Amino acid sequence: MPEMDIGIIGMAVMGSNLALNMADHGFKVAAYNRTANLTREVIKNTPHKNLEGFYSMQEFLHSLKSPRRVMLMIKAGKPVDSVIEELIPQLDKGDIVIDGGNSFFEDTIRRYSYLKEKGINYFGVGISGGEKGARFGPSIMPGGNKDLYKHVQPVFEAISAHVGEEPCCTYIGDNGAGHYVKMVHNGIEYADMQLIAETYLLLRHVGGFDNKKLSEIFHEWNKGELHSYLIGITADIFAENDENNQDGQLVDKILDSAGQKGTGRWTSIQALKQGVDISMITAACNTRVLSNLREERKKASAEIKAPVYDKKMSDSFIEEVRKSLYAAKIIAYAQGFSLYNSASKEYGWDLDFGKIASIFRAGCIIQAEFLNKITEAYGKNKNLPNLMFDKFFLENINENQSSLRNIICLAINKGIPVPALSNALQYLDAHRSPQIGANLIQAQRDYFGAHTYERTDKEGVFHHEWQEHYK
Ligand code: NAP
């Protein structure tokens, strides 16, 4: 008699830790990995009464209760398609395949329809929190058929992180919605990290603070409105000594060059396709790209003169940097949630933005105090066109924007790159400014390409025969 509640294919970091998390919550978990040795290792190193290893796909599938719940925790991309092909002939109608990896949401939409035609149900589930989250409680974003969600809900809600009694897991929407929300979550994470990195550069190169002081500053910030996982780990990082160097901290020995995986870049590409401005996330991607041009940067730093600017920093410098970070963080989230807003309409997902913010409050990398305010904002007005217009965020932007302007001016004069902070201000000013310059652009387009324009004083579409005044 099949007795396993759920099966996981893929026993690498994420799959094995999720399996143990499920086992801890009383679910009987069948474990399978393409390379059998990995399953053997997991079972040997972390034995659990609710976890059983299987070494053939057939036995693995036979062990599962009906409808079978088969979760893929494998490398995203082609491997997911090939495992699905392997599964199809061995599954029954009504069985459920769950992809918990970082799959591209358009692949999830395609796979969802493909399996639906065969009577197999498919969930694309975003999971955030890395290894630790997977083991002890991640933030979980399931997408798929709403009526069938009840078949996976108990497992996901049990294993997710919790805030009080509330699970950091909610049904997101049809087909690729879960993976879409996870993708943008990662984009927001890029912007959040980039902003923190820019404040670090300012505190270090304008403020002249050493790592001990930086650690204290971030620790202090973490007690207030910036309270978040990322600020907390940043305070820890500056305090960490380099074990190879008694006098210094590890952070100074780490190469100034960051990788960028798929999700941040996907978010930017997708935003351009949807026509949504998420310039801060894109700035964060671009900065990582530039960080990898190590030779070019070395040459440029030797050959391009640094600005000379001797003005002393003010007594309120640290506080101004903090306020800038807070204002810019609000704008980063406003951009990310604008993208959700657009996707919700474009893909018909009816996303619940307040609920999405609430499941980010624990388990995931962007967990922060601040997310409660986003939930409250959408609780008051679920049709809020942009988070910046919520009373709380508006007040905070207005209170902190002069600090953001001052700090960006200082960074520019000192030659310190602050692309995410600058893009936050550009986004703000592009919204706020009564004129954005598009009237001139429309005139140019009409001049060279007869693209037509609309007028401020009457309805309709117009073309003008522009004269060459200067030959
Ligand atoms: P991973 O390194 O992304 O992938 C390794 C796993 O994929 C192994 O189990 C491997 O099996 C399997 N695999 C690769 N190609 C395969 C194929 N053609 N057929 C069958 N299996 C194949 O593993 P991970 O880091 O645990 O991540 C799993 C998923 O979660 C990925 O989509 C990842 O992007 C996502 N994710 C990861 C994190 C994280 O912090 N690591 C966080 C969130 C989400 P073999 O052992 O046989 O090679």
Residues 6 or more apart in contact with residue 268 via CB below 8 angstroms: 187, 278, 281, 282, 285
Task: Express each pLDDT in 27-70 by its tens digit.
Answer: 999 999 999 999 999 999 999 999 999 999 999 999 999 999 99
Task: Kindly state the tokens that stand for 364.
Answer: 């995931």
Ligand 1 and 73: CB distance under 6 A: yes
Cα of 470 from ligand 1 centre, angstroms: 63
Residue 182 catalytic?
yes
pLDDT of amino acid 449: 97
pLDDT of amino acid 2: 82
Task: Express each pLDDT in 309-352 by its tens digit.
Answer: 888 788 899 999 999 999 999 999 999 999 999 999 999 999 99
DSSP state of 252: G
pLDDT of amino acid 310: 83
pLDDT of amino acid 11: 98
Residue nearest to atom 1 of ligand 1 (CA): 75
Ligand 1 and 42: CB distance under 6 A: no
Q: Which pTM does this prediction carry?
A: 0.95
Residues of the chain with pLDDT under 50: none
pLDDT of amino acid 289: 96
Provide the angle, in degrees to the nearest 10, between the axes of the packed helices 294-303 and 279-291. 90
End-to-end Cα, the chain, rounded Å: 89
Ligand 1 and 233: CB distance under 6 A: no
pLDDT of amino acid 84: 98
Residue 189 catalytic?
yes
Ligand 1 and 76: CB distance under 6 A: yes
Contact indicator for 431, 388 with CB cutoff of 8 Å: yes
Cα of 79 from ligand 1 centre, angstroms: 9
Ligand 1 and 79: CB distance under 6 A: yes
Q: Classify residue 220 as left (phi > 0), alpha (psi -120 to 50) or beta.
A: alpha
